[in-house]
Amino acid sequence: MNILKNEMRQGLKGLLLWGLIIGGTIVLCVALFPDLKKEFGDMVDAMADMGGFGAAFGMNQLNYGEITGFYGIYAGSMLGIGGIFFAAVLGTGILAKEEKEHTAEFLLTHPVTRTSAFFQKLTAMLVQILLMNGIVILLSLLSFRIIGETPEWKGVWLFHLAQLLMQTEIACICMGISAFLRKGSVSIGIGVAALLYFLGLFGNITEEAEKVKYITPYAYADAADILPDAALDGTLILIGMGYAFLGLTIGYVKYQRKDMY
Amino acid sequence: MRPVIEIENLTKYYGKHRGIEHLNLVVDEGEFFGFIGPNGAGKSTTIRTILGLLRPREGSVRILGRELGAGGGCKSGAGREKIRKGLLREIGYMPSEAFFYSWMKVEDVLKFSASFYDRDCSEECGRLCERLKLDTRKKVDELSLGNRKKVSIVCALQHGAKLYVLDEPTSGLDPLMQREFFEILKERNESGASVFLSSHVLGEVERYCHRAAIIREGSIIAVDSVDKIRRSSARKVTVRGVSELPGIFMEKAEILDDGVRFFYRGEMEKLIGALQGLPIRDLTITEPDLEEVFLHFYEGESR
């Protein structure tokens, strides 16, 4: 368990920072809600006219004038974007950073199997994602308190669960990629995250691109799809977890056989 | 005496680049063994392969009597890793380049390293840090190369191994620390541990090792007792002002503009005698570097 502990110590600052920035931005947005609500009559119409752009962010499906819908749009984009970048950067770095910083030799000449190192790192990654989301959720709850509004809880919790699953999927896929990298992992992580994110937006804009929902986890984690009926798409989630598992398996096999230097 | 390291026909390529080729080597229990060769000869590749960091293309490695598995018909994956883990408990390894987690303090690195072993290393760690004068409260990324090497040394030695594998351990250490380090190694060796160290400095191998192997371009070219290697070593002499030394056998002589450079293997007295009275402007007598020794002399003799 010493590698797990070590990873946590190393990642703590990062996850606090990500959690506070994403959560803090959500707090700021939610704090604006009471003022915006007074003017929302005009705004909803304005948003409805935005067509494709509005649709990309789910504005056509969510009621902007209610706290749940408002939260879905703002928290949805903040946590949606921030979360996948956090997960991608974390995942692509988790194995490759040891080679980039030349610590792989130090680590793996100690009595530990690569299997154990891999799974301790995986655990550390998942715990960090959980903690980061914990911070965001705490700050969100706090912000509801501050403005004295009560959202529809079921939808909000399902939304956060879906976000957690999406980040887990991306982190696992990126960890798989990480096993193939030797250096410069961050840019690849950001690339993967951006690709999946824009695929998700693309899928929202046009019906013809509907098939992308089988590729990007953004499809099952989008607040606009979850909040109206307070329901998750189990099939898409299952497919997503399948990708995560596949990524991890390929990464594990590669990591077992890889030359370390 | 049973061997602690047995390498058989070990071959490793990095893509198309040669690492090592058909390498054979046996190190016995209780030996202080030097592994010498110029940079790029394959010393680190050999060491990293026997520790399981690299997967060889061919050949086999047995450490402390246990098969680590290697190329072709090797044990793969989990089985190999289990054996490797068991072996690494008994090995103290010092990499040639000392890199650690940059956000750690020295004491964090030492504790993290110790946490992999199921024994309490804190007492030995303290003793070693004191002898090597290592400040454990510093952050590792503020350390000089020499001090980073010391951290590596403590990591390799604090858990009390049966076999020490040290890759270029003295580079970057000042002479006083080198001596202290070899003192510690000698103590460990005398109490039964085997030492396998790589170096490109002939002197330290001469002083401390019982036997040595010479590696060049990925292959072992000689394995012998250090005494025998020492006897075969020559001096490199450069004389300016004259180009003829009567009565002196000049090996591999090279005529310079204003003098001569050659290898000399006879009595020093005779050389000095011959030099007397000649109009010499400048004179240097040095140990030839390792490559010259083994290229020109040792290799030739052993074949």
**Which one-letter amino acid corresponds to residue B91?**
I
Report the DSSP pairing between strands B194-199 and B282-286: unpaired
- B 4-33 residues inside an 8 A Cβ radius of A: 14
* Mean local confidence (pLDDT), A218-239: 89
B214's enclosing H/E stretch is strand B211-216
Write down the pLDDT at residue B301.
46
**Which one-letter amino acid corresponds to residue B212?**
A
Torsion of Cα atoms, B133 then A109 then B63 then B162, to 10°: 30
pLDDT tens by residue, B207-251: 899 999 988 889 998 888 877 766 666 788 999 998 888 888 888
Q: Does B1 touch chain A (CB under 8 A)?
A: no
| Cβ contact A113–B53 (<8 Å) | no
DSSP structure string for B170-192: TTT--HHHHHHHHHHHHHHHHTT
Q: Is the pLDDT of residue A84 over 60?
A: yes
Write down the pLDDT at residue B70.
46
Write down the pLDDT at residue B195.
97
Query: Is the complex ipTM more than 0.90?
Result: no
In B, minimum Cα distance to A2 occurs at: B115
Q: Which residues of chain B have pLDDT under 70?
A: 69-78, 229-233, 289-303
DSSP structure string for B270-288: HHHHHHTTS--SEEEEEPP
Write down the pLDDT at residue B73.
40
Q: Which two tokens stand for residue B124?
A: 């030995």
CA A214 to chain centre: 17
Q: Which two tokens stand for residue B254?
A: 């090279």
Sort out which chain A residues have CB atoms less than 8 A from B17's CB and list them: none
Top-confidence residue, A77 or B149: B149
Closest CA to A137 of A208, A83, A203, A100: A83
| Cβ contact B99–A106 (<8 Å) | yes
- The order of strands in the sheet holding B3-14 is B17-28, B3-14, B58-63, B66-67
Sort out which chain B residues have CB atoms less than 8 A from A111's CB and list them: 85-89, 116-117
| Cβ contact A103–B54 (<8 Å) | no
Write down the pLDDT at residue B300.
47
pLDDT-derived band at A145 (thresholds 50, 70, 90) equals very high
| Cβ contact B116–A109 (<8 Å) | no
- How far apart, in whole angstroms, are the C-alpha atoms of residue A36 and residue A43? 9
- How far apart, in whole angstroms, are the C-alpha atoms of residue B155 and residue B132? 12
Where are any strands of DSSP class E within B56-203? 58-63, 66-67, 91-94, 163-167, 194-199
* Mean local confidence (pLDDT), A40-44: 63
pLDDT-derived band at A40 (thresholds 50, 70, 90) equals low
pTM: 0.86
pLDDT-derived band at A38 (thresholds 50, 70, 90) equals confident
Phi, psi of B161 (to 5 degrees): -95, 170
